[in-house]
Structure 1
Amino acid sequence: MASTALEACQSTVTALGRYVPATISVLLHVHDRLRCVAATGSWQVFSTVSPEQGIVGRVYSTGTGVTVPAVADDPDYLPVRPDVVAEVCVPVLDPAGRPLGVLHLQWSGPVELGPWRETAERVAARLGARIIALGGPPAESRSEKLLRHASALTTAGTEWELNERASCAAREVSGLSAAVLLLTDPTAGLRLGAPARAPGELESRIRAELVEAGEVPLGRIMARAHRHGAAYTLGEPGQPPVADYLPLVRAGVRTLVAVPVGPPDSGGVLLVADERLGRPDPTTVNLMELLAGQAWTCLDRLRTLARLRERASSDPLTGLGHAGPFGERIATATPGRTALLAIDVDGFKSVNDTYGHQAGDQVLVGLARALQGALRHGDELYRTGGDEFVAVVEVGQPGEAVGVAERLVEAARGVGRTISVGVALPRRGEPPESTLRRADEALYVVKRQGRDGVRLAAA
């Protein structure tokens, strides 16, 4: 009498439960998990199980039933209640012999398992045939899809990866064909999130129109979502769109769900669209709002971690790398090619003593910018102490490193300061710390000789 696969599974466990003194469950393969779709007599069941996990996973993956007279002796047993002693698990197969799921029976007392194994296999065969006759196992529900995608968002390692996963989730859960994230970047302003790996034609057109529209129209779309909340079309023909959405209309959008993401000053908007004229229901919009909330939580976490990493690896005053990343960099120095330039600001103590530390900080910030501007592409500058800097440069010969150092001296003079620079190239087999020590020794020779100059350490 069952009219759906789920009803057939529930009827099966209900009927078996009248005669079998066991806890009974049916797990079907839905998407990438074994999902419990019917159960009886159990204090607790696992909602989903990986096809590679437990006795049920073993039975599903092999297509062969098992009889387990003592569950404590089976390393794959997944405990759901403390008094289970034995179980029978058989595959639910379609008429062609392909596994659809498993029928699982567990006993908490002595039982002769042989006859029940035979009964379970016969029932499972009937159930498999009936499931196929009713159209196959149930499809993954939209809420189940959202849960799966929400879990995937939490494991995204980069903002780019997160944007891509959020767009994929929006398309799959909503049933619409295109999804685009429009975000406020803390440093770059408004921008589009990562595209899908294989964006459809509509999504490509939307992205092209939004890029061509520029920041002002994008800002209006963003402001509209955050001012008024989520919005969606009703799918009725002949209704004119508001002016804010004209770039989307030009791309061919006829159905749209727009959901704010995060706060107005640092978040964005999720646009989910289709070129077919449809009518998204409120439940779909609610699911998109849940997805947007999860995406923002994950995005905010990634941005916070990025800020913490930046603070941990850079000097807060000048923004240069500090002693930690400098140590990592010189550990990879190439003998004869990686030059270390030890730099000391001449007379810096007198600035602090005369004008105060705030004035000294301004000197350091201005000098750091000047020195960075004098370096070549690929050269690196670190602040390793109060008024001490080190440049790491790749050169072909010692004279090239001296030339870079002389440009640094000129850059310092350009902002009204002088510096002393010692240059050293690593010797073969020499620890980086020793190379830096030789650069420091050359620097102090410059200091003793009147400052404002460069000296190359002996090779």
Structure 2
Amino acid sequence: MRLDHERIVSAVTARLTRASSAEEACRVAVNTISAETGAMAAALLPVRDHLRCVAAAGSWHVFTAVQTGRGVSGRAFRTGRTQTVTAVREDPDYIPVGIADVTLEVCAPLVDTDGQPIGVFDVEWCDPTDVAAARACIEEVAACLGDRITRLGGPPAENSSEKLLRHAGALTAAATEWELMAAANDAARDVSGLCAAVLVVSEGQRIRVGMPTALPDEFEANLRDVLTTVPESALLELVTLAHRHGSSHTLGETGHTVPPVYRPLLDAGVATLITVPVGPPGEGGVMLIADDRTLEPDSSTVNLMELLAAQAWACLDRLRTLAALRELAMSDPLTGLRHQGPFGERIRNAVPGRTALLAIDIDQFKYINDTYGHQEGDAVLVSLARALQGALRRVDELFRLGGDEFVAVLDVRHPSEAMTIADRLTDAARAIGRTVSIGVALVADEEPPERTLRRADAAMYAVKRDGRDGARLAPASATADT
């Protein structure tokens, strides 16, 4: 195909002068080239780590975005040099878009007045074309387009929808609830353009406030202080209001009466506020997006915040479901206590002389099962597990290893401290009409914790031989495991 270089460049230049935005300028150049040459043309401008296709013509299908380091277009943008490919199927960077029999691709960088790449202009032909002429024509069109985009203020910034899409990846990748809440707050600030965001969600019977760990300004610090010190009932009222009536936002007007529920936020300096319900009523929460400037958020921003809240809740619900499944996998389904696997992990971190193992056995449990049945035996296990758990300190851990065998793992400073806690456990069992036999052993230097447990078992069986219902400290010697 013969290219009328001067006519094509003249047509593009004339139409570019009427373009009022970078996107319109790209459409003008693309449509003109496609109409004049019959080729597939596309203009791509950078948005963060990718090139966004803002205009294309001459093809049924086109990729919306290309990573800045991929494809012929990415190569042209990265190097700032025109790429001319005549054997596209042999070029490892060629990205096919459904055009059959492409014979030539010319991709020229769009540059600003400083010579820095601000995008690329890519054209593909299926007909035999003069390569040198095609390159010269596209480079001149690209120069005109780059100049017009620069005059119009440069490539457009990332729009709100693109920001939300980018942040969706961070939400999905969050490994903990705190990471998720921080990611949701970051997304809300970035997408809305407001300077502060807080995700408030229920956690069991409590309300949890997710705040950024690094507070960039005084306003956000004030908001954090207010939300972490107000009564939980005030936070619950905010959550209830959002779930009852839906999202809301301030109008940017002053001099009006403020509902009491928002008064603590005003005391923190809030002048603009978007509230969005998160999750289902009764178990969800609310997202608060705020600013100390008096603004009026538009409805599209509120809609995006609702999408963000829905994504955040879906990710939070997934994390909680996974945590519940992990807990089920690590816990005894009858008593809720953790079992053999977590116990093995715990004792691997035992500290000689400071970690005590308490082997606990229910007295006459076989008699209970044989006489009253396994249902009654299960009830005894559950009630005793609760009693023992309640008698332990908050830092102590109780495991059920099977049947009526329990093990408590304690961090102590002296053997007498372990014996004191063992006595509390026997008292707790008596308080519900049962008795237990307990053997106590401290992990010795260079002693495998498994051997320590065998010493604790031996001490427990010694209690049983002496009449049950008591506790005994195992001798320090390792000969007790024989």
- What is residue 60 of structure 1 aligned with on the other side? 77
Q: Distance in 1 between matches of 2:402 and 2:67?
A: 54
Q: Distance in 2 between matches of 1:72 and 1:421?
A: 76
Q: Secondary structure at the match of 2:304?
A: helix
Displacement, 1:388? 0.7
Paired residues for 1:434-453 under 5 Å = 436-437=453-454, 439-452=456-469, 453=471
- What is residue 217 of structure 1 aligned with on the other side? 234
Alignment check: 8 A CA contact 2:215 2:221 kept:
no
Q: Secondary structure at the match of 1:321?
A: coil
Residues 244 and 393 (structure 1), Cα distance of their counterparts in 2 relative to 1, 3 Å cut: closer
**Pairing partner for 2:120 from 75, 78, 102:** 102
Paired residues for 1:33-432 under 5 Å = 33-81=50-98, 83=100, 84=102, 86-108=104-126, 110-187=128-205, 189-195=206-212, 197-333=214-350, 338-373=355-390, 375=392, 378-394=395-411, 405=422, 408-423=425-440
Moved more, 121-130 or 406-415: 406-415
With structure 1 as the length reference, what TM-score do the two structures score?
0.88
What is the one-letter code of the residue matched to 2:284?
Answer: G
Structure 1 stretches of 5 or more lacking a match?
none
What is the one-letter code of the residue matched to 2:95?
Answer: L
Query: What is the number of residues matched between the two proteins?
Result: 458
What is the one-letter code of the residue matched to 1:221?
Answer: L
Q: Distance in 1 between matches of 2:426 and 2:163?
A: 61
Residues 412 and 286 (structure 1), Cα distance of their counterparts in 2 relative to 1, 3 Å cut: same
Q: Percent identity?
A: 58
What is the one-letter code of the residue matched to 2:184?
Answer: A
Residues 112 and 328 (structure 1), Cα distance of their counterparts in 2 relative to 1, 3 Å cut: farther
What is the one-letter code of the residue matched to 2:167?
Answer: H
Displacement, 1:257? 1.8
With structure 2 as the length reference, what TM-score do the two structures score?
0.85
Residues 82 and 21 (structure 1), Cα distance of their counterparts in 2 relative to 1, 3 Å cut: closer
Alignment check: 8 A CA contact 1:406 1:454 kept:
no
Residues 396 and 112 (structure 1), Cα distance of their counterparts in 2 relative to 1, 3 Å cut: farther
What is the one-letter code of the residue matched to 1:177?
Answer: C
What is the one-letter code of the residue matched to 1:160?
Answer: W
Residues 259 and 399 (structure 1), Cα distance of their counterparts in 2 relative to 1, 3 Å cut: closer
Residues 422 and 253 (structure 1), Cα distance of their counterparts in 2 relative to 1, 3 Å cut: closer
Displacement, 1:103? 1.6
Q: Secondary structure at the match of 1:245?
A: helix
Residues 75 and 444 (structure 1), Cα distance of their counterparts in 2 relative to 1, 3 Å cut: farther
Displacement, 1:407? 5.3
What is the one-letter code of the residue matched to 1:254?
Answer: A
Structure 2 stretches of 5 or more lacking a match?
1-17
Moved more, 325-334 or 40-49: 325-334
- What is residue 28 of structure 1 aligned with on the other side? 45
Q: Distance in 2 between matches of 1:210 and 1:442?
A: 53
Q: Secondary structure at the match of 2:266?
A: helix
Q: Secondary structure at the match of 2:402?
A: coil
Q: Distance in 2 between matches of 1:379 and 1:302?
A: 26
Moved more, 133-142 or 16-25: 16-25
Displacement, 1:358? 4.7
What is the one-letter code of the residue matched to 2:115?
Answer: G
- Alignment of 1:5 with 2:45, yes or no, is no
Cα displacement string for residues 296-339 of structure 1 (whole angstroms, at most 9, x for unaligned residues): 11111112112112222222333321112112233444567655
Q: Secondary structure at the match of 1:384?
A: strand
Q: Secondary structure at the match of 1:206?
A: helix
Displacement, 1:396? 7.0
Q: Secondary structure at the match of 1:272?
A: strand
